[in-house]
Chain A
């Protein structure tokens, strides 16, 4: 990360073929976005997996998040807030996907059932079972409640940061988390 002005970011993306360079504005700090991309991709991916619960959708989500970040880079106010900014984009992209998935589920087009692929293969069998069961239940929750609960209890974010990511008040987050908790209580005991 360099000390480039946040108002005028210099972005640089290199295609795999290496024959074309898509540049935007001045190319002198062109490695900025690349550096952000390399540095925060695992973080965005882990948020994506925890929020969506679909390993096969994580790559798409990462692309969407960084593409949006690339387009909206000039709205970034502080270099220090890049991580939370990317998390906010990831949360909003996830929310859209979850809402769409819920709609598909309503009309019977969503029949994904590979919950055992979510946990890390290296995890203990009982943890794997717990994780599979948890995401099975999370799929029944409304997106707002699910995101709030997941960010707090799985991602380990504070309520302030969740409120910032979701674009709502802390009070709303508290209410959503408690509501989600109540719905999960019968199925998921702590």
Chain B
């Protein structure tokens, strides 16, 4: 080190006294306190951020589509309402109908998973043979095996399954196996009707420990009555369709509706009308019958009885005659009496037909059904083309 450097070194000596030492010590203590405070704040912020992140991801995971499906590079069918079908492996999945109000898919073979966007005003139906899966919830898969067994597995929400052996409601985590088409062939009329419920599908809770073990669960008797109020939503849709004059689609939707789900005589009568206008009068009988049994004192009851008898006139004329005979003391009495004569004539009971024809002539000497009554009392007239 040369002279210059030595001189500079000497000139840059610090005079460090006791006072400065104390000041420095005090400053260190203060720094230490601040440092602790910073650590606490940083920890609190980290915890809060972590909590917020966990909360955020917890929330989004329940609403977003499952990543395992989204990540799969499988072909998918995306519908306008955001619902997606993920066919899996060899399959035949046909979109039969897709509109804002109804999506109908026909799974002819193979497996497909479905993620259905919640929308109470749109029906999402998957048909696999005779099994119709109607979505009430959101996520499920349908597997139609070559032996025509249809496996429906619900991962989220709730679905209604219309199978040949009944109507079933599957909740999230449940798996049902239903016969695709075989039931009708296997179950002819010979087994006498018993009080037992129809054979249940195999319903398993979703995470069964061993895959092969299928735990049979008797369908809970309260499930169906519980589910029925939910079907109160569905008439809205078929009613809307009917009001637009689309009776065929309304009738298709009504096929899934039990008469007991309709809570007024008016609704039942409207449903019967829809069936008749859709060209399926025989399907209206159950609704008409329901009016007679549930609402016997309603003003619509005689009309329901008349319509039912009228529907049965050609196929079951004897029964129709009995039903027409029940209609008395109402505005429909004249028409009912004339139809009764016709029904008796069709039935071949000409003696009784003559008696009832005489009654008609006596009661309604100027009735506008006189000619028809006259003809039927003498036997079945030639049908005009």
Contact = CB atoms under 8 A, between A and B. Distances in A.
Interface in A1-53: 13-16, 22, 37-38, 41-42, 45-46, 48-50
B21 A131 contact: no
A63 B31 contact: yes
Interface in A45-81: 45-46, 48-50, 55, 58-60, 62-64, 66-67, 70-71
B55 interface: no
A48 B14 CA distance: 9
A168 interface: no
Interface in B139-171: none
B24 A62 contact: yes
Contacts, number: 97
Given A38-B21, A41-B24, A45-B14, A154 B9 contact: yes
A186 B31 CA distance: 43
B209 interface: no
Nearest to A128: B11
Interface string A68-105: 00110000000000000000000000000000000000
B323 to A, nearest CB: 99
- What does DSSP make chain A's interface, helix, strand, loop or mixed? helix
A134 B8 CA distance: 9
Interface in B242-287: none
Contact of B14 (A13, A14, A46): A46
A63 B2 CA distance: 32
A113 interface: no
A16 to B, nearest CB: 4
A41 B26 CA distance: 13
A127 interface: yes
Contacts of B27: 59-60, 63
Interface residues of A, number: 40
Interface string A146-190: 000000011110000000000000000000000000000000001
Contacts of A134: 8
Contact of A156 (B1, B4, B13, B26): B1
B9 A120 contact: no
Give the contact-size bracket for chain B: 20 to 34
B189 interface: no
B12 A154 contact: yes
B93 to A, nearest CB: 65
A119 B14 CA distance: 9
A16 B8 CA distance: 35
B196 interface: no
A93 B183 CA distance: 86
A106 interface: no
Contacts of B59: none
A46 to B, nearest CB: 5
A16 B22 contact: yes
A119 B26 CA distance: 26
B214 to A, nearest CB: 62
4 tightest CB-CB pairs across the interface, nearest first? A63-B27, A123-B11, A42-B16, A119-B11
Given A15-B26, A46-B13, A59-B27, 16 more contacts: A14-B29, A16-B29, A22-B29, A22-B32, A50-B9, A59-B23, A60-B27, A64-B31, A66-B28, A67-B28, A120-B11, A127-B7, A130-B8, A131-B8, A153-B1, A153-B5
7 contacts: A13-B29, A49-B12, A50-B9, A120-B10, A120-B11, A123-B7, A190-B2
